[in-house]
Structure 1
Amino acid sequence: MKLSSFNKSLLENSNYQVQEDFQTTIQFQFDYVARKVMIRTQRNYRRSIGRRRKHECLFSEISDFELNKLRIFDTYNLDRRTYKVLSLNVEVTDCQIAKTLDALPERKRDIILMFYYLEMSDAEIAEELGVNRSTVYRNRANALEIIKKLLEGEL
């Protein structure tokens, strides 16, 4: 059967209409998927902001006490001096104090280190050194006077 020119134009119009409907359908599907992606991206962003808000805060909102906990200082072996007391290593990080401790006699230095760095009482120090408690107290007081004079002289 031979197609007439009218039938040909009708067939071409219907093919064109089908093709246009197909492109419109594809465009609507793409728009739907793109809109869905944008909505979900926005929702995920808002969720992540909410999660961050629970775990993060501004530096201006942190108290000074908590902010001081975050501070970190670099320490090097050159910045500290190590003393051996009662088979323990005591590290002194202040340079001036280390110099003054070096100027003290060994016994007085050990008493100062045990009292202040090892946090031992006079009675415990006396027991370790085999002397009276009053001797420990007197040596510690004399050592502190020497340290005070040395530090005042350096300032």
Structure 2
Amino acid sequence: MMNSEQYREHIERTFNAFCKIVLCHAALGAYKKLRKKQQFEVSLDYLREFDFEPVATTDECFVKYDVPTTFTICGKTVIVENEHLAAALFRLPEKRREVLFLWYYLGYSDAEISKMCGISRSAVFRRRKNALRFMRKEMEALENEE
């Protein structure tokens, strides 16, 4: 029994020594990494000595320069804030503009628009398709002018 107890103590001591060596090498590796990082990193206290411009920008997406354009269709007011879009919509014939507003802004279906305007559903579809084609050309022309 003595031999087995001595053998077990020997195994425990060997394992403890092994663990201590592993931990020591892990700590040395961590210190080595920290020293390498410190060579390339700059303290923020050092950066305060320089006078930097404030890092900021202003977002002009939500700034309104002009009064939005309003259109009245079937007794309902539609507000268009984009100047180019409003200019292109003004150039559209009245019937096509009405179909566009009823479809896109007020959410009516082709059948509902055809009943309101007294025309067929296919005529509503053609007016909307032609209006979109015209709007695309107008918007491209306005973008090219700038």
TM superposition score category, shorter chain reference: 0.5 to 0.7
Whole-angstrom distance in 1 between the partners of 2:106 and 2:64: 21
Taking only the aligned residue pairs, the percentage that are identical comes to 36
Return 5+ residue gaps in structure 1 as ranges.
Answer: 1-71
1:119-138 paired onto structure 2 within 5 Å: 119-138=107-126
CA deviation after TM superposition for structure 1 residue 73, in Å: 3.5
Greater relative contact order structure (CA < 8 Å, 6+ sep): 2
More helix by share: 1
User: What pairs with 1:1-155 in structure 2 (closer than 5 Å)?
Assistant: 73-75=62-64, 78-155=66-143
Note the C-alpha offset of 1:152: 1.0
Measured in 2, the distance between the counterparts of 1:121 and 1:96 equals 26
Letter in 1 for 2:128: R
Q: How many angstroms apart in 1 are the aligned matches of 2:139 and 2:104?
A: 17
Q: Please provide the CA RMSD for this pair.
A: 1.6
Equivalenced residues, count: 83
Please report the TM-score for the alignment, with normalisation by the length of structure 2.
Answer: 0.53
Query: Alpha-carbon deviations, 1:68-117, whole Å to 9, x = none?
Result: xxxx94547x3311111111111111111100000001110111111110
Q: Structure 2 CA distance, aligned partners of 1:153 and 1:115?
A: 24
Bigger radius of gyration among the two: 1
Q: Do the aligned partners of residues 87 and 75 (structure 1) sit closer, same or farther apart at CA in structure 2, a change above 3 Å counting?
A: same
Runs of 4+ in 1 over 4 A off after TM superposition: none
